[in-house]
Structures are given as C-alpha cells and as structure tokens.
C-alpha cells in the first residue's frame, strides 16, 4: 500500500502524475496530487521540472489556491538541478507579488550568487539564513550544489588551488580529502589535479564547412548536363 500524503490521498506515482497532467492540465482538481508529488521529490531527492511547472501554472491561473510552501520547495529543488536553468523557468510563472516577499527574495539571492559563481559568498549566505531557506528540510541540497560547483571548477581548471577549492565547496580539510578520494582526484603541492574533459582543454576547434548532400542535389543535375 502506498503512503498517504498530508491530505490523506495515496501518493501518486510519476506515471499517474503525468497522466493527470496530460488529461487535466488546466484543472485545479489535480493540485493535491501535484503538491504531494513535490513533497515526494523532496524526500526522494529527485527532480521533475515538467510536473513542477504544471503546478506553478495552476497557481498562476488560480491565485486563490497558491501554496507558498510548495512554491519555495519547487524553487529550491530547481536550484539543486544546476547547471540547468530550471530556476529561471519557474520564476517566469510566479508573480512579482509573491517574489517580492522576503522568503522568495532570499532564494533569489542565492540563485544570483550561484549564477555569478560567487560560491564562497553563497555558502556564507546559506549558513546565515539556514532557517529561512529551510535547507535542513531539503535532503541532498548541499550535495547537489557541491556537485554543481565541482563541475564548474572542473570545466575551468586543470589544476586548482586546494584552499580555493575547499572554500568554493564548503568543505573542511577532512571533507575535502574524502571528496577527492571518492572522485579519484589527486592533490599535490596545494593544488588539485582535475580530470581533463572537453571544457578544460583549449583545443583549437576548426569548424570547417561540410556541404550536405541535399544542398548539392539542387545543382547536380545541371553539372551533369
């Protein structure tokens, strides 16, 4: 038997949620299931942009039913999906009336810090506003953001100062060693060697022109004659 949600309905599966969206997208009747699904994403540490956008759209068209807790959760989940810009897509559907509230202004602030890669300031702000942002109620938040930071650093550096890395990742020395060990990264002389990928090598890309067959076919007949 499936667990019950707060309003005593059976927790919907992903398939059921998508069925509801496909058949009843504009009906506020499906809100309880969509909201329950948001809660499930929080506890399962999964993310479903499409379903969450559908939820926000219903709030947009039906302001009486808007649930600010759910909206805040959706936005925080969106941030956990960086580098994808889910957060931006969500804000397009949330009126300024809501976004100007302090709670949402805080979330906007950390989005800003993340987008401009001010990671040290980001972690500081999170520490100072932990309760307001509800970070403790979001399993996997720190891990997800660390994953994002590591990816950006990996795409920019071939070797990066350890101290800088720890600051950006909000890791102490022990945590850092653990992270490096679990990812197979090595450290030497105060610098971390990062795996080489397409982004952190500056290869001279020569974008040469390829002529497609259907472009040529237009003139092949005249060349042949």
Q: Which residues of 31-45 are buried (b: 16+ CB within 10 A; e: fewer)?
A: bebbbbbbebbbeee
Using the rule CB under 8 A, is 201 a contact of other proteins? Answer: yes
Using the rule CB under 8 A, is 29 a contact of other proteins? Answer: no
**Binder to other proteins among 31, 93, 126, 138 (CB under 8 A)?**
93
Copy the structure tokens of residue 92.
Answer: 């397009």
Copy the structure tokens of residue 189.
Answer: 């002389």
Using the rule CB under 8 A, is 130 a contact of other proteins? Answer: no
Our CB check for other proteins shows the closer of 42 and 58 to be: 58
Q: How far is the CB of 110 from other proteins (least distance, A)?
A: 13
Q: Helix 141-156 and helix 173-183: axis angle, to 10°? A: 70
Backbone φ, ψ for residue 15 (5° rounding)? -60, -40
Copy the structure tokens of residue 10.
Answer: 């059976």
Our CB check for other proteins shows the closer of 35 and 86 to be: 86
> How far is 49 from 183, CA to CA, in rounded Å?
28
Using the rule CB under 8 A, is 205 a contact of other proteins? Answer: yes
Q: Contact at 8 Å (CB) between 11 and 18?
A: no
Encoded one letter per residue, x for contact with other proteins by CB under 8 A and - for no contact, window 103-122 reads ---------x--xxxxxx--
Stretch of 7-15, 71-79, 139-147, 208-216 lying at the interface with other proteins (CB under 8 A): 208-216
CA 4 to chain centre: 27
**Binder to other proteins among 13, 19, 46, 63 (CB under 8 A)?**
63
Q: How far is the CB of 160 from other proteins (least distance, A)?
A: 7
> How far is 135 from 210, CA to CA, in rounded Å?
50
Binding positions for other proteins, rule: CB under 8 A: 26, 49-50, 53, 57, 60-64, 83-85, 88-89, 91-93, 95-97, 100, 112, 115-120, 152-153, 155-161, 164, 191, 198-209, 211, 215-216, 218-219, 222
């Amino acid at each position: 038997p499936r667990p019950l949600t707060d309003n005593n309905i059976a927790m919907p599966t992903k398939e059921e949620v998508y069925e509801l969206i496909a058949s009843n997208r504009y009906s506020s009747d499906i809100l309880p299931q969509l909201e329950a699904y948001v809660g499930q994403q929080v506890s399962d540490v999964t993310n479903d942009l499409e379903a969450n956008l559908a939820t926000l759209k219903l709030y947009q068209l039906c302001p009486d039913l808007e649930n600010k807790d759910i909206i805040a959760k959706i936005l925080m989940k969106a941030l956990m999906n960086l580098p994808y810009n889910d957060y931006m897509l969500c804000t397009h559907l949330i009126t300024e009336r809501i976004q100007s509230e302090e709670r949402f202004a805080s979330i906007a602030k950390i989005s800003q810090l993340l987008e401009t890669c001010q990671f040290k300031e980001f972690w500081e702000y999170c520490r100072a506003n932990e309760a307001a942002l509800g970070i403790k109620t979001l399993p996997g938040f720190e891990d997800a953001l660390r994953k994002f930071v590591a990816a950006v650093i990996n795409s920019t550096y071939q070797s990066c100062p350890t101290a800088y890395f720890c600051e950006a990742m909000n890791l102490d020395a022990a945590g850092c060693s653990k992270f490096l060990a679990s990812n197979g990264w090595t450290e030497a002389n105060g610098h971390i060697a990062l795996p080489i990928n397409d982004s952190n090598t500056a290869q001279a890309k020569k974008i040469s022109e390829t002529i497609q067959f259907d472009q040529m076919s237009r003139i092949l007949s005249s060349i042949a004659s």
